[in-house]
Amino acid sequence: MGAILSNPAKDASAYPSQEDESSLMITGLATKWPSKLIGSKDLEAYALNQYPEDAPWLQSLMKINEQTGIQSRAVVDIWDDPRWHQDVPPTAEDVDAAFRNYGVQLAKGAALDALSDSHISPSSVTHVVAVTATNAGSPGYDQVVARELGIPATAERVLLAGVGCAGGLAALRVASNLARAATLQH
């Protein structure tokens, strides 16, 4: 998901106070999804092929997988690649390389669409908030996306990692707080 928060006010007197945040709004929004969908049973079969069935954490994960009611999940194109279906799970380096190949392009596409929707150029972006539950590589993928988009190196970046399904909401909350703080500085 890409979202652009901005304050359309033209003069400093129109900036919101702490009590009046009504002029802070999402001015651009976009999403990008991988083309492949898998069902809950596909995820379960994959996990059971990779990890011991009696592992307590895996049993908890499979219980959550079953109880969520999620019928399908979008996965990147590596799902059908035999390298990801071996007896040994992929290494952290393998996951990072795949994420940088596929995830960065999805994030970049969503960000470009959100920027277009907001009529804001990448060169005027001052803050970037990114989120991932998949990747833990360093530097964060947000740095790669920002560089490829032409966002200034001086833009402040925040990467939220490991927040799972709540990540989108957490990113919007952090972005809102950053935008309000930046607005109040003027």
**Is 165 among the catalytic positions?**
yes
Where helices occur in the chain by DSSP H, the ranges are 40-50, 56-67, 92-98, 104-118, 141-149, 167-185
Token code pair at residue 62: 């499979």
Closest CA to 174 of 148, 150, 156: 156
Tally Cβ neighbours within 10 Å of residue 138. Answer: 9
Say if residues 75 and 42 touch (Cβ distance below 8 Å): no
Going through 87-141 in order, the beta strands assigned E by DSSP cover 127-132
- Number of residues that this document lists for the chain: 186
- 3-class SS at 109? helix
CA distance 115 to 105: 15
Q: Which of 8, 56, 165, 185 is the catalytic position? A: 165
- 3-class SS at 148? helix
Residues with catalytic annotation? 165
